Amino acid sequence: MTINLDSEKFFNKTKINIKEKLEKADQKIINISLIVDKIPKNINELSEQLRIIADLRLPTLDQYTTIKQHCEICLLDINNKISKSNFEELESLSITNDNLKHIKQIILEDIGIEIDTDYKNIIEEMCTNILNLIKLKDNLENILEKLFLENYINFYKLTNIKIASKMLEIAGSFKRLVSMPASTIQLLGSEKSFFKALKTHKNTPKYGVLYNHPSMQSLSKRNKGRFARTIAAKISIALKSDFNKTEIYPELLKKLNNKLEQYKQNNLKK
């Protein structure tokens, strides 16, 4: 079989282009963030199933713990490392004093039933899997943070891992994101609502994923829209600075925080 030289040349060039694209920081961020987005759902589903069995031993325990703490306590319990007279291992966990008091009370009241080895094995395996997923999520988020700090520090400092990753995911690449005007950046993540509003002749959205920006939470609905425009403008500058490999985020953050204080003062006056 004879291979057309032009076809082979085109194939090799395509292969190189794909490889170069996948090796870029923005594509790594997009791929990793897609995985990170799925993990919480898996953790929550597993923890709900765990609670059904774990409640046999320590009912209502999950009300006073995080998912991670719940798993850690369940493992201590089935391995006989906590009891009515021994809370040493329990107290080494990062639990608030109020919640610790409730947890101790649950153990002292001993309302739960004894479970057999099969149930203990199920609890141990589920707890281990959940803790491994939590560790995986933490590790992936550390990788994301490193990628942002090394490549898009201005963009990252003005947003956070979740917002910055989502914006890159929606845009498809850093190159496309950096070429977007501030008005488009402001609405990233609201595409469905935007086109629906146009179709029904209703008010268009004022923000997309920027709604989840920490600074937005303290503002009124009216000022949220205004501040989203301000953040988007600063992000646009930050992206261009990252493209040119210059760090200007301290100055951008200072201006952003000053603007935030102005909007907060407007809230108080009303």
Task: Tell me the per-residue pLDDT of 101-136, one tens digit each, with 9 for 90 and over.
Answer: 999 999 999 888 889 999 999 999 999 999 999 999
Q: Are 160 and 214 in contact (CB under 8 A)?
A: yes
Given a contact cutoff of 8 angstroms between Cβ atoms, the answer to whether 148 and 155 are in contact is yes
For 148-204, the pLDDT digits (tens) are: 999 999 999 999 999 999 999 999 999 999 999 999 999 999 878 877 776 777 777
Give which of 109, 12, 1, 95 is closest to 59, Cα–Cα.
Answer: 109
Asked whether residue 22 carries a pLDDT value surpassing 70, the answer given is: no
Contact 249, 204 (CB under 8 A): no
Q: Name the DSSP letter for residue 135.
A: H
Coil, helix or strand at residue 88: helix
- pTM comes to 0.82
Averaged pLDDT of the chain: 88
According to the model, what pLDDT value does residue 97 have?
Answer: 93
> In the block, which residue shows the tokens 């069995």?
53
58, 76 Cβ separation under 8 angstroms: no
- At 35 the pLDDT is 95
- Which residue would you say has higher pLDDT here, 164 or 220? 164
- Asked whether residue 85 carries a pLDDT value surpassing 90, the answer given is no
* Domains of the chain, CATH where assigned: 8-143 (1.10.287.4070), 152-269 (1.10.246.90)
Say what the pLDDT of residue 15 is.
47
Confidence at 84, pLDDT banded by 50, 70, 90: confident
How far is CA 17 from each of CA 12, 23, 75, 148, 222, rounded to the nearest angstrom? 9, 10, 49, 23, 46
> Which string of b and e fits 65-103 if b means at least 16 CB within 10 Å?
bebbbbbbbbbbbbeeebeeeebebbeeeebeeeebeeb
Q: Which two tokens stand for residue 238?
A: 């930050």
- Summarize the chain as % helix, strand, coil (round to 5): 75, 0, 20
64 CB-contact burial (10 Å; exposed 0-12 / middle 13-18 / buried 19+)? buried
In this prediction, residue 269 has a pLDDT band, given cuts at 50, 70 and 90, of low
Q: Under 8 Å CB-to-CB from 260, ≥6 apart: which residues?
A: 215, 218, 219, 227
Q: Picking from 30-34, 70-74, 75-79, 200-204, which range would have the lowest pLDDT averaged per residue?
A: 200-204
Contacts of 173 (CB under 8 A, 6+ apart): 24, 26, 27
Tokens of 170: 């929606």
pLDDT band at 217 (very low <50, low <70, confident <90, very high): confident
SS3 state at 50 = helix
Instruction: Please tell me the total number of residues recorded for the chain in this structure.
Output: 270
Q: How many CB atoms lie within 10 A of CB 193?
A: 15
With a cut of 80, say whether residue 226 has pLDDT above it.
Answer: yes
Q: Does residue 14 register a pLDDT over 70?
A: no
Instruction: List, for residues 53-65, the tens digit of each pLDDT value.
Output: 999 999 999 999 9
